[in-house]
Chains A and B, each alone.
Chain A
Amino acid sequence: DGGITQSPKYLFRKEGQNVTLSCEQNLNHDAMYWYRQDPGQGLRLIYYSQIVNDFQKGDIAEGYSVSREKKESFPLTVTSAQKNPTAFYLCASSNPQRGAFFGQGTRLTVV
């Protein structure tokens, strides 16, 4: 079955540590996105990528980094520079007529 997979589902990080969230898709979509969602809030765009080896900052890119070395993969690194990293992180890939297909999300908690 085609889909988009995020791992892990739950992640705990100590303050000051970098952590990388995985996102893989086998839908052959060109565009991929990372969003952050805080409790009771909407989705805020962190980074997006239209093609391999190219990506763009979204609205809240500070403290995050991404790479797009393969079409299928778009990992997100939450760096120690991100002041408030505890959130629900959603990765998506895009179909022209359906917009975003989402992974199950990763819930990151800083301890």
Chain B
Amino acid sequence: GQNIDQPTEMTATEGAIVQINCTYQTSGFNGLFWYQQHAGEAPTFLSYNVLDGLEEKGRFSSFLSRSKGYSYLLLKELQMKDSASYLCAVRAVTGGGNKLTFGTGTQLKVEL
């Protein structure tokens, strides 16, 4: 099976930088994804890592270490609209195809 851990809640100040960590245990690893979800809405894609290292996309960056089973999402220049839940998801190859499993999400609150 898969086990994905994220902090439940985080609070940060507008304009600051915040790092949201995700640790996982899985076999057949085939990629790690980060999503943003606002209350009552479907998740939207933020980033994808399948090789070790940092992927940067504007104010958002994501890092992966496969040997450590560890990823983080880095949000820079925080804005109030960044207040949302951030979901880490791990894709694994199984006998029946690609299984995509989500963590419980990290609720980020951005304050003035």
A residues contacting B by CB (< 8 A) are 31, 33, 35, 40-45, 48-51, 54-56, 58-59, 90, 92, 94, 96-105
Contact = CB atoms under 8 A, between A and B. Distances in A.
For chain B, the bracket of interface size reads 20 to 34
A97 B94 contact: no
Interface string B92-109: 001111111111110100
Given A35-B102, A42-B103, A90-B42, A48 B96 contact: yes
Contact of B87 (A42, A94, A97, A103): A42
A51 to B, nearest CB: 7
Interface string B1-35: 10000000000000000000000000000010101
A40 B39 CA distance: 9
Contacts of B91: 99
20 contacts: A31-B97, A31-B98, A44-B102, A45-B100, A45-B102, A50-B97, A51-B97, A54-B96, A55-B96, A56-B94, A56-B97, A56-B99, A97-B48, A98-B45, A99-B48, A100-B43, A100-B45, A103-B42, A105-B41, A105-B42
